[in-house]
């Protein structure tokens, strides 16, 4: 009964949403035992993870020692780095700022530091999608964009499985990597007492000719939420149906509005 009410709640919100976007999947699981508390839509098809990959990157970076803590290293912006979000990306950036503002060039510096083979080994051990960092066919650009509408793909279901490992500290990384990552990922307190840690992601799918379909952007929000001794992990994936209406930030805002009532209906 509780699950049925939760599903009805999600569907009602989706139908009343005036934004031109469709929810591909909402999946919520108990972090402790992995029980799926809610699953609606297609949660098994893999798509580009976009900037949600930064959570996995952070685990890799802290384990490798390239990332030291939430505020070290602070890397300078250099001419030629990705800066399509303007001045917010043209600043010296540390791990916490990288995650908060989703700074692509910081991810690229980390990816080049680790290299393709090491990235693929980490991703495979993490169970992070298909663990493919080769990039676009024939372009040797995997270290710059494998996770952005390219070779790396993951399903919402796999996101939740990965996040459970992260929350339960069972990823194959150094123990202190977990603490440093938790301190770096942005946390949002909600009025009902939930503390939500999460990461957005936005990217365009590819058309048959390889060009970007800018009218049908993917928007992700993935993470975990805790209240007392209970923690849930979640993934929400949407796709816009009109140019300019998609993106992870919008998904995050709408999901955070839903989450208190949704969590209360699922977790007692």
Q: Which residues are catalytic?
A: 51
Q: What is the dihedral of CA 249, 252, 257, 258, to 10 degrees?
A: 140
Phi-psi region of 117 (alpha: psi -120 to 50; beta: other; left: phi over 0): alpha
Report the distance separating Cα 8 and Cα 73, nearest Å.
46
Helix locations, the chain, DSSP H: 2-16, 53-64, 95-101, 104-114, 116-126, 142-145, 156-167, 175-184, 248-266
- 26 SS3 class: strand
Whose structure tokens read 């977990």? 178
Burial zone of 62 (CB within 10 Å; 0-12 exposed, 13-18 middle, 19+ buried): buried
Q: Quick check: 244 and 229 in contact, CB under 8 A?
A: no
- 103 SS3 class: coil
């Amino acid at each position: 009964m509780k699950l049925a009410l939760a599903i009805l709640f999600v569907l009602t919100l989706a139908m009343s949403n005036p934004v031109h976007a469709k929810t591909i999947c909402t999946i919520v699981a108990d972090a402790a035992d992995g029980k799926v508390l809610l699953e609606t839509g297609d949660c098994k098809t893999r798509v580009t993870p976009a900037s949600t990959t930064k959570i996995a990157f952070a685990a890799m970076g802290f384990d490798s020692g390239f990332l030291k803590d939430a505020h070290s290293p602070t890397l300078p912006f250099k001419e030629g780095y990705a800066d399509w979000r303007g001045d917010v990306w043209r600043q010296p950036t540390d791990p916490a700022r990288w995650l908060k503002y989703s700074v692509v060039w910081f991810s690229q510096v980390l990816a080049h530091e680790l290299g393709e083979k090491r990235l693929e080994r980490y991703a495979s051990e993490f169970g992070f999608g298909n663990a493919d960092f080769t990039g676009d066919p024939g372009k040797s650009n995997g270290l710059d964009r494998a996770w952005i509408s390219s070779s790396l793909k993951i399903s919402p279901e796999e996101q939740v499985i990965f996040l459970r490992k992260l929350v339960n500290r069972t990823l194959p990384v150094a123990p202190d990597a977990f603490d440093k990552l938790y301190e770096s990922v942005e946390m949002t307190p909600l009025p009902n007492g939930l503390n939500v840690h999460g990461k957005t992601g936005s990217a365009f799918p590819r058309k048959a000719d390889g060009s970007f379909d800018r009218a049908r952007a993917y928007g992700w929000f993935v993470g975990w939420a805790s209240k007392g001794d209970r923690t849930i992990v979640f993934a929400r994936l949407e796709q816009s149906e009109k140019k300019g209406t998609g993106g992870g930030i919008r998904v995050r805002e709408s999901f955070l509005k839903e989450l208190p009532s949704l969590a209360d209906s699922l977790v007692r």
